Structure 1
Amino acid sequence: MTKAELPVSRRQLGWLAVMLLTPILLVSVAVTQVPPKPGHTAMDALLGWSVLGAVTLVLLTMLVMMARRHAIDIDDNVLVVRHSLYTLRLRRADVGALHLRRVTSRNELGLGLRTNGIAACGYYSGWFSGQRGERVFCAVSTWPAYLVTVEGNARCRRLALSMSAEVAQRVARWAPPA
C-alpha cells in the first residue's frame, strides 16, 4: 500500500478561514453594538452568545478538517483520495486505463458547476460537473495539478488532483495494463 500526502496551500486555507469567520465576527460586533430591547434579560444574551459560540466551533472544526485531511492511498484494489470533507474511492476493477495530464490553471480543469464541494480562493474540493456534464472529483489546492481521465466502468471519469510528479507516476502505474 502506498500512502501519500496531497499538497495544501496555507494561503488558501487562510483565505477560507477569513471567509468562514468574517460573518461570525460581524455578527459579534453587531450584537455588542446594538442596544438590548425592552424585556431583554441576561439569559437571552447568554443564549445568543452560546449559539454564536457553537456555530463558530462547528466552522473551526470544518476548517481544521480541511487543513488536515488531504491524502491519497493506493493499494492493489482501490485508490482512495481524502480531501477536506470529501472522499473518492476508485476500484481498480472499474478502471480500464488512466490518462494523466498536468494542468496549471482552473480553466484547464474543464469544470462546470459545483455539485457538492468547496470552490473558493483557488481551493477546489469535492464533486463538480464537467463542461459536458460528467462527474469530476476535485482535490486541488496548489498548482500545478493533474487531470486524471478514467476509462472503464467507474462512476467518476475525471479527477483533478494536486499532487507531486512522483505521486502522479504512482497513480499512473496503479492502472491495469492496457
Structure 2
Amino acid sequence: MTKAELPVSRQQLGWLAVMLLAPMLLVSIAATWAPPKPGDTAAHGLLGWSVIGAITLGLLALLYVVARRRAIEIDDTAIVVRHSLYTLRLRRADVSALHLRQVATLDQLGLSLRRNGIAACGYYSGWFSGPRGERTFCAISTWPAYLITVEGQARCRHVALSIPPELARRIAAWAPP
C-alpha cells in the first residue's frame, strides 16, 4: 500500500483565504460605519458581531479542511484520492487500462464545466466535465500535473492530479496489464 500527500501551493491557499474572508471584512466595515437604528441596544450590536465572528470562524474551518485534506492511497484493489471536500475511489476491478500524460496548463486538461467542485486561482478540486461531457476528477494545486485517462467500467473517465513523477509511475504500474 502506498500513501502520499498531494502537494499544495501556499500562494493558492492565500488567494482562497482572501476570496473567502474579503466579504467578511467588507461586512465588518459596513457594520462599523452603519448608523444604529432607533431602539438598537448594545446587545443588538453584540449579536451582530457574534454572527460575523461565527461565520468567519466557519470559513476559516473550511479553509483549514481544504488545506489539510489532500492525500492519495494506492493499494491492490483501489486508488483513493482525498482532496479538499471531495473524494475519488477508483476500483481496480472497474479499470481495464490507464493512460498518463503530463500537462502544464489548464487548457491541456480540456475542462469545460465545473459540476461540483472548487475552481479558483489555479486550485481545482472536485468534479468537472471534460471536453465531451465525460466526468473528470481534479486534485490540482500545483503545476505540472498528470492527466490520467481511465478505460473500463469506472464512472470517472479522467483524473487530473498534482503528483510527483515517482507517484505517477506507481499509478501507471497499478493499472491492470
> Does the pair score TM above 0.5?
yes
User: For this pair of structures, how many residues does the alignment match?
Assistant: 177
What residue is the counterpart of 2:79 in the other structure? 79
1:75 shift after superposition: 0.5
Which residue of structure 1 aligns with residue 5 of structure 2? 5
How far 1:53 moved relative to its partner?
A: 1.2
TM-score normalised by length of structure 1: 0.98
Compare 48-57 and 74-83 and name the one that shifted more.
48-57
State TM-score, norm by structure 2: 0.98
Map of 1:151 onto structure 2: 151
- TM-superposed CA distance for 1:56, in Å, is 0.7
Give the whole-Å Cα distance in 1 for the aligned partners of 2:15 and 2:128. 21
1:137 maps to amino acid? F
Whichever residue aligns with residue 152 of structure 1, its letter is G
Match of 2:54 in 1: 54
Identity of aligned residues (%): 73
Aligned partners of 1:60 and 1:170: how far apart in 2? 35
Aligned position for 2:92: 92
SS for the counterpart of 2:112 is: strand
Summarize deviations over 1:47-94 as a string: whole Å, max 9, x none: 211111111111101101111111100001010001111110010000
- What residue in structure 2 maps to residue 107 of structure 1? 107
Worse-matched range after superposition: 48-57 or 157-166: 48-57
Letter in 1 for 2:44: D
Aligned to 1:37: 37
Match of 1:140 in 2: 140
Q: Distance in 2 between matches of 1:146 and 1:139?
A: 10
Secondary structure of the residue aligned to 2:79 is strand
Distance 2:115 2:48 in 1: 33
Q: Which letter maps to 1:156?
A: C
In the other structure, the counterpart of 1:162 is 162
Partner-residue secondary structure (3-state), 1:109:
coil
Q: Show CA shifts across 1:101-121 (max 9, x none).
A: 000000000101111000000
In 1: Cα distance, 2:128 partner to 2:70 partner:
18
Distance 2:20 2:126 in 1: 18
**3-state SS of the aligned residue for 1:72?**
strand
Alignment gaps of 5+ in structure 2? none
Shift of residue 6, structure 1, vs aligned partner:
0.8
**Equivalent residue for 1:130?**
130
- The code of the aligned residue for 1:112 comes to S
Q: Which residue of the partner structure matches residue 121 of structure 1?
A: 121
For 1:80 and 1:104, locate their aligned partners in 2 and report how far apart those are by CA, in whole Å.
Answer: 23
Report the Cα offset of residue 164 of structure 1: 0.2
Give the partner amino acid of 1:110.
G
